[in-house]
Amino acid sequence: MSTNKLQLHEKELLVRISELELEIKKLKDKKYGLIWEDKPEDVVLQCQNNIPILREVKNRKIVSDNSAPNNLLIEGDNYHSLSVLNYTHKSKVDVIYIDPPYNTGNNSWRYNNDYIDKEDDFRHSKWLSMMYSRLKLAKGLLSAQGALVCAIDENELNTLGLLLQEIFYGWAIDCVTVIHNQGGIQGTNFSYNHEYIYFVYPRKSGYINPELRSGEELTPFRDWGKENSKREGSPNCFYPIIFDGDKIVGFGEVPKDTFHPKSSNELKGDLIYIYPIDGNGIERRWRFARDTVEEIADELVAKKQGEQYSVLRGKKNYIRKTVWDNSRFNANIYGTQLLSQIIPEKFPFPKSLYLVKECLVAVEQNKNATVLDFFAGSGTTGHAVLELNKQDGGNRNFILCTNNENKICEEVTYERVKRVSKGYKNKKGEKIDGLGGNLSYYKTDLVNVDKLHKISDEAKIKVTYQAGEMIAVREDTLTEVEKNDWWQIFKGNNKITAIYFKEDKEKIKELIKKLISKIEDEKTSVVLYIFGWGKNEYKNEYSSGLIRVEDIPEPILEVYKEINRL
């Protein structure tokens, strides 16, 4: 072997040795938790020398209600979509609901273009690598009070649990069992009729919203117990509840110990004052003290029993149990069959619409919440958000991301959202009213920058020219109104976003003049992204009370560099 070749060989060996030393250190450092063989994924590697961006498919825009929020559908690998969202929606998402491929070994998902089957020795490692890189990106999108909800079955239940503990260290993580298939799927030993949902949320008591029921089941509000149900032990639980007929109108104050009402029902004009006194005249207690009873006032009714009225409670709020068993969660009836009423195309295993709705309300009561699903499939999550908005007049918006395998995004996700937004005819030909809602359809694309860590000036200019739609999404100003060699302008939501592309600032005053006249004519606010080689080069010079100035492309590049360090 020549000396040159030997030296090369030696160099390669030294590199390999240092890689192995790193691996050994990693294994030694890890005392507890998950270890798997990390197989590099093409879509992740692509981001070392490419920048993901968005391109709108304008003819797929859906506008059914100008006053409603904009929803987004992003077609592409979700690693790229999540990368883009780290620039457009950092800390802005309130709920992430996902239903990833379950890794059943039935060729139901692909890693680096190969379907994963049961024989693949790295089946679980590949799934973990895929989930790890996406969950890391997703975490940065959650708002301070945001939560992640993830459906899963027995194939990856345990690995996912450990992965979540690692990524969401310090968060509350609970796992709920859902009976989603009452009949069960035939197995060789057990017939599976359930799957799971992980809830990952900030540690805070009362974070999970109670389950709402109709309140029809009435129980006595007076404590029926024995000695400890008496007035003496809990004087603050002895006070009159005031009714006009069976309708509650208020609560009296806790009386002095020396006061003893003559009977449980005292009439004062048209009103009845009801005290917790039993049939033998013994003074007992209500189940809530005077200072907390008003929280459940709407659950109390008066019912005549014999000659006297007594107070009953129709409890509406129940702390959620960890087994969810409700026929409305049936995936066949309210997933597959429901979807077949909306679109002709088939989709494997959509979730029950009502189950996804329930997951959303369990973690969020904010009617303006932003909801993300980055394994959107047939778009059940988008449908659930539109239904919730219709139900309670909310303004929630959603972002759905899915690949277009077997044309899912175009023919299933998009078609479903379009039909449920605008209205459609079901299989019987009956007209179903639309739920409203607007949608903009984007595809991810990659801008080649050669090396993310050493971007050339030429590549920076290229990124600036192509980042327009991504910036429009960030500012929620989705309609392009003008584009030329110097600038691009978008508008929406009473706001204008302008991007000035060039290092040469010859025409920037012309653009600013134009923007100011728009501010005066259209009473809009304006944000102006100005090209610069670094950061904060033009903020002082061009920002004013009327115009907010932002840099481009440096902040975008920083986000992608950070993602690549993850």
Closest distance of CB 538 from ligand SAM, Å? 37
**Residue found by looking up tokens 């692509």 in the block:** 46
Quick one: 180 or 491, whose CB is closer to ligand SAM? 180
C-alpha distances in Å from residue 117, one per residue of 93, 122, 377:
34, 10, 20
What is the Cα–Cα distance from 212 to 57, expressed in whole angstroms? 40
Closest distance of CB 41 from ligand SAM, Å? 9
Contact present, 371 and 97 (Cβ < 8 Å): yes
Quick one: 36 or 207, whose CB is closer to ligand SAM? 36
Closest distance of CB 473 from ligand SAM, Å? 18
Closest distance of CB 77 from ligand SAM, Å? 4
Quick one: 78 or 86, whose CB is closer to ligand SAM? 78
The widest CA-to-CA distance across the chain, in whole angstroms, is: 112
Quick one: 151 or 549, whose CB is closer to ligand SAM? 151
How many residues comprise the chain?
566
- CA dihedral of 402, 404, 410, 415, whole degrees rounded to 10: -50
147: amino acid identity, one letter: A
Closest distance of CB 88 from ligand SAM, Å? 17
Quick one: 129 or 265, whose CB is closer to ligand SAM? 129
Quick one: 243 or 324, whose CB is closer to ligand SAM? 324
Beta bridge partners of 549: 528
What is the Cα–Cα distance from 527 to 313, expressed in whole angstroms? 54
Q: Which residue sits closest to ligand SAM, CB atoms considered?
A: 377
Quick one: 110 or 514, whose CB is closer to ligand SAM? 110
Closest distance of CB 161 from ligand SAM, Å? 18
Quick one: 99 or 364, whose CB is closer to ligand SAM? 99
320: amino acid identity, one letter: R
Contact present, 126 and 120 (Cβ < 8 Å): yes
Q: What tokens appear for 437 in the block?
A: 């809602």
The DSSP 8-state label assigned to residue 125 in this structure reads: H
Closest distance of CB 405 from ligand SAM, Å? 5
Closest distance of CB 351 from ligand SAM, Å? 4
Closest distance of CB 410 from ligand SAM, Å? 12
- Complete edge-to-edge strand list for the sheet that includes strand 370-373: 50-56, 438-448, 70-75, 397-402, 370-373, 93-98, 142-152, 194-201, 172-179, 323-324
Radius of gyration, alpha carbons of the chain: 30
Quick one: 114 or 541, whose CB is closer to ligand SAM? 114
- Complete edge-to-edge strand list for the sheet that includes strand 547-552: 479-483, 487-492, 495-500, 525-531, 547-552
Q: Tell me which residues touch ligand SAM (CB under 6 A).
A: 77-78, 99, 101, 109, 347, 350-351, 375, 377-378, 380, 402-403, 405, 408
Evaluate the omega torsion of the peptide bond into residue 553 and state whether it is cis, within 30 degrees of 0.
yes
Buried b (16+ CB within 10 A) or exposed e, 98-123: bbbbbbbeeeebebeeeebeeebeeb
Helix (H, G, I), strand (E, B) or coil at 522: helix
Beta strands in 306-377 (DSSP E): 308-314, 317-318, 323-324, 370-373
Closest distance of CB 478 from ligand SAM, Å? 22
Closest distance of CB 85 from ligand SAM, Å? 13
Alpha helices in 118-170 (DSSP H): 123-139, 157-167
Quick one: 384 or 499, whose CB is closer to ligand SAM? 384
Closest distance of CB 356 from ligand SAM, Å? 7
* 352: phi then psi, degrees, rounded to nearest 5: -65, 130
Quick one: 155 or 403, whose CB is closer to ligand SAM? 403
Q: What tokens appear for 196 in the block?
A: 């799971």
Quick one: 343 or 467, whose CB is closer to ligand SAM? 343
Q: What angle do CA 44, 47, 50 make, to 5 degrees?
A: 150
What is the Cα–Cα distance from 189 to 209, expressed in whole angstroms? 37
